[in-house]
Amino acid sequence: MTTNAGPGSLAVTPTPIDGMVLFDLPVHGDARGWFKENWQREKMTALGLADFGPVQNNISFNAEPGVTRGLHAEPWDKWVSVATGRVFGAWVDLREGPGFGTVFTAELDPSKAIFVPRGVANGFQTLEPATAYTYLVNDHWSPDASYSFVNLADPTAAIAWPIPLAEAEISDKDREHPRLQDATPILPRKVLVVGAGGQLGRALAAEYGHAAHIDYADRADLDLTDPGLPTARHWRDYGVIINAAAYTAVDEAETPTGRTDAWSANVTGPAALARIATAHGITLVQVSTDYVFDGTAPRPYREDDPVSPLGVYAQTKAAADAAVQTTPRHYVVRTSWVIGDGHNFVRTMASLAQRGINPTVVDDQTGRLTFTTDLARGIRHLIDSHAPFGVYNLTGSGEPRTWAQIAARVFELTGHDPARVTPVSTDAYYAGKSGIAPRPANSVLDLTKIQATGFAPADQDTSLTAYLA
């Protein structure tokens, strides 16, 4: 029996199949036998392997050489190794996309292991008696999972099995698997957009469309505060959750009822999603706000500036940011002055201009408009580009303006006299009014970090012109 029981060193080699990597494992032997670290999370993730979170360990014992199994693609990741004996392994990419049909083969003994991504078909042929083929998986086996298969003898894959298949021990079921051209592609893990009925949710639907792996949910479909949320869906099927749901009634949040509702929607829900994301290796995207800052800084706010929320709404959003940052795979996207396809400041100003009403607008709060189309585009960019996880500012670009300046620009772009807008201080505007939440005077967010990922936020004036057109 071959054991290759030399000291070796832990090393990783990429393969032609995207995301699949072959590991050399140190095997330490003496007269008694040998020992190896078959799976060592800290060392292997340090070499670039995804922390895929295995939950089940399976072993296939094969008594004789020539036992051939596969090719099976399951909706979970696998860490494949050999405990005793030797195998010829074969893998075929059955994931939907340009890599479909890519083949890789390698011989595995105890000194080798391979990470097989979700959707890559796995097969092997034993080369020695008493071979134990082992694999860790990051989801529990289920008969209801979506599997795909390809025939061991497929001429397109053209796998050069060391022992001819006519002489091999193969189950009838495996012999009947379809040819590669008829194999069912495995779709990507799903993307779930929560808060699909809101302005950002609708923009995300326009950005992503309605592919089979994109799910949209509003509160009627998925209540984030429901204690049953952890079992509401088969979460291992999801790769990304984008939380576009939020309580945004800034002034109403200052009331007793509003305070309760704001904490429930803005903190309880995201915290529950963070626990689910951690448990199932999901990337969680949380949309945050400039309100987490008190607005007193003399410069644009950076992602690493300490938060200092003023009102109840601001406090709930800051708390949600902290909760979401506890899950390893997260993007907290801070934005400001969001404009979408619903009721908003720009539409209000355009309506006032058309109706001959001259508004008074605050001129001591400064920021940039963010259009939901650009926000959705930026969120997708972070996900698709695999940008480093963390907090990102994402607003429109260009010269910051006050609300009064933006109102005047709306009047100008709609063919009305911008001088009809009267600037006023925040204190004067809200004088005599109660229950008003404090607003940050400086809402300008520094965009350097997201620009470094290759994303160019749209100029707010260009977006405003197009929006009004």
Copy the structure tokens of residue 107.
Answer: 């011989």
Q: What whole-number distance in Å separates Cα of residue 153 and Cα of residue 53? A: 33
Q: Is 135 labeled as catalytic in the residue annotation?
A: yes
Q: What element of type H or E holds 175? A: helix 172-175
Q: What whole-number distance in Å separates Cα of residue 354 and Cα of residue 427? A: 28
- Domain boundary assignment for the chain: 11-182, 190-468
Q: What whole-number distance in Å separates Cα of residue 198 and Cα of residue 268? A: 19
Q: What pairs with residue 242 in β-bridges? A: 193, 285
* Residue 278 confidence (pLDDT): 94
* Residue 238 confidence (pLDDT): 95
Task: Give me the percent of the chain exceeding a pLDDT of 70.
Answer: 98
- Which of 217, 208, 292, 295 has its CA nearest to residue 250? 292
Eight-state DSSP code of residue 397: B
Q: What are the CA-CA distances from residue 78 to residues 42, 61, 117, 385, 389 (Å)?
A: 17, 17, 6, 24, 24
Q: Is 72 labeled as catalytic in the residue annotation?
A: yes
Q: What whole-number distance in Å separates Cα of residue 270 and Cα of residue 266? A: 7
Spell out a b/e string for 184-202, using b for 16 or more CB atoms within 10 Å of the CB, else e: eebbbbbbbbbbbebbbbb
Q: What whole-number distance in Å separates Cα of residue 465 and Cα of residue 469? A: 6
Least confident of 49-58, 306-315, 378-387: 49-58
Q: Is the pTM of this model over 0.85?
A: yes
Q: What is the DSSP string of 204-257?
A: HHHHH---TTEEEE-TTT--TT-TTGGGSS-GGGEEEEEE------TTGGGSHH
- Domain 190-468 fold is Rossmann fold (3.40.50)
3-state DSSP: the chain helix, strand, coil percent, rounded to 5? 30, 25, 45
- Tell me the residue type at 105: T
- 46-95 pLDDT per residue, tens: 998 988 889 999 999 999 999 999 999 998 999 999 999 999 999 999 99
* Residue 145 confidence (pLDDT): 77
Q: What whole-number distance in Å separates Cα of residue 432 and Cα of residue 454? A: 47
Contact 55, 140 (CB under 8 A): yes
- Which of 445, 330, 444, 451 has its CA nearest to residue 391? 330
> Taking 70 as the threshold, does the pLDDT of residue 372 lie above it?
yes
* Residue 146 confidence (pLDDT): 80
> Rg for the chain (alpha carbons), in Å?
28
Q: What whole-number distance in Å separates Cα of residue 186 and Cα of residue 465? A: 42
> Taking 80 as the threshold, does the pLDDT of residue 357 lie above it?
yes
* The domains spanning 11-182 and 190-468 adopt the same CATH topology: no
* Residue 405 confidence (pLDDT): 97
Q: What whole-number distance in Å separates Cα of residue 234 and Cα of residue 236? A: 6
* Residue 342 confidence (pLDDT): 86
* Residue 4 confidence (pLDDT): 42
* Residue 9 confidence (pLDDT): 87
Task: Choose the catalytic residue: 133, 135, 238, 331.
Answer: 135
Q: Strand pairing of 131-137 and 190-194? A: unpaired
- Burial grade of 356 (CB within 10 A; 0-12, 13-18, 19 or more): exposed
Tell me which residue has tokens 């399951």. 74
Eight-state DSSP code of residue 142: -
Contact 196, 204 (CB under 8 A): yes
> Taking 70 as the threshold, does the pLDDT of residue 6 lie above it?
no
Q: What element of type H or E holds 466? A: helix 460-468
Mean pLDDT of the chain: 94
> Taking 70 as the threshold, does the pLDDT of residue 2 lie above it?
no
- 216-230 pLDDT per residue, tens: 999 899 999 999 999
* Residue 246 confidence (pLDDT): 94
- Which of 240, 287, 283, 313 has its CA nearest to residue 394? 287
Task: Give me the percent of the chain exceeding a pLDDT of 90.
Answer: 90
Tell me which residue has tokens 């969001």. 338
List the alpha helices (DSSP H) in 357-414.
372-384, 403-413
Eight-state DSSP code of residue 418: G
Q: Please report how many Cα atoms fall inside a 13 Å half-sphere around the Cα of residue 41, on the Cβ side.
A: 5
- Which of 240, 239, 198, 202 has its CA nearest to residue 219? 198
* Residue 1 confidence (pLDDT): 31
Q: Which CATH class is domain 11-182?
A: mainly beta
- 389-405 pLDDT per residue, tens: 999 999 999 999 999 99
> Taking 90 as the threshold, does the pLDDT of residue 141 lie above it?
no
